């Protein structure tokens, strides 16, 4: 069983590395070409992937909307450090992440409550902070715990952050990381 898990993780890591290298070396200079092909086919994705950083302890994914040129317009962050300690419990690292996002002096906490899955079961805590400059909204961060994993979405507006949080992209990423966490245990 241990060999099976090692092979599974090795296959996953090789796939991620290969995809990252292909993206970096082949698509880096062809971004406009790829976007042009998408636009000519009349299929414009709502969120365009720009890049990712996949470390063992955390993952960061960057997206943008078609109208934006900001490569970090939308950020999805996931922290898995607590995953080594206990499954389905909010552990110390997860608690600290949540509390530091909820009590930051740089932003105002505007929502705090529970996070529910697609069938309505409570899976953790959820909060929303708003970062302002001269009373104008500069960024919004929606953050939540899902068992022992901490997640956050940051975008320039509350509407965009909520739309991305509820998107199939975020659902797919969070579900795939939960499956990976369970397999590794």
pLDDT at 105: 83
Q: Residues near 89 by Cβ (< 8 Å), separated by ≥ 6?
A: 147, 148
The residue ranges of the chain whose pLDDT is under 70 are 1-42, 82-90, 178-185
Asked if residue 35 and residue 92 are part of one domain, the reply reads no
- Convert the pLDDT of each residue in 86-140 to its tens digit: 444 567 778 888 888 888 888 999 999 999 988 999 989 999 999 988 888 899 9
Asked if residue 37 and residue 50 are part of one domain, the reply reads no
pLDDT at 104: 82
Range of the domain at 30: 1-44
Asked if residue 133 and residue 74 are part of one domain, the reply reads yes
pLDDT at 100: 86
Which residue do the tokens 């389905």 mark?
Answer: 88
Asked if residue 61 and residue 3 are part of one domain, the reply reads no
141 backbone φψ class: left, alpha, beta (φ>0; ψ -120 to 50): beta
Asked if residue 58 and residue 27 are part of one domain, the reply reads no
CA distances from 127 to 118, 124, 136, 143, 157 (A): 18, 10, 20, 5, 15
Count structural domains, the chain: 2
Asked if residue 165 and residue 98 are part of one domain, the reply reads yes
Asked if residue 133 and residue 87 are part of one domain, the reply reads yes
pLDDT at 2: 59
pLDDT at 50: 95
Asked if residue 80 and residue 60 are part of one domain, the reply reads yes
Asked if residue 84 and residue 30 are part of one domain, the reply reads no
Q: Residues near 21 by Cβ (< 8 Å), separated by ≥ 6?
A: none
Asked if residue 139 and residue 64 are part of one domain, the reply reads yes
pLDDT at 73: 95
């Amino acid at each position: 069983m241990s060999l099976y898990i090692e092979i599974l993780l090795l296959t996953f890591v090789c796939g991620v590395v290969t995809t990252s290298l292909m993206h970096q070396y082949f698509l880096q200079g062809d971004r406009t070409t790829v976007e042009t092909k998408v636009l000519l086919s009349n299929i414009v994705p709502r969120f365009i992937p720009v890049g990712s950083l996949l470390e063992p302890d955390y993952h960061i994914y960057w997206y943008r909307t078609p109208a934006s040129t900001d490569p970090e317009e939308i950020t999805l962050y996931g922290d898995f450090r607590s995953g080594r300690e206990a499954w389905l419990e909010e552990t110390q690292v997860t608690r600290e992440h949540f509390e530091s996002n909820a009590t930051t002096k740089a932003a105002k906490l505007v929502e705090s409550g529970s996070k529910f899955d697609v069938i309505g079961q409570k899976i953790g805590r959820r909060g929303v902070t708003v970062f302002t400059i001269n009373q104008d909204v500069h960024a919004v961060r929606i953050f939540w715990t899902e068992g022992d994993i901490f997640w956050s979405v940051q975008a320039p507006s509350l509407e965009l952050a909520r739309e991305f949080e509820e998107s199939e992209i975020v659902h797919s990423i969070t579900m795939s990381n939960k499956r990976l966490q369970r397999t590794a245990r």
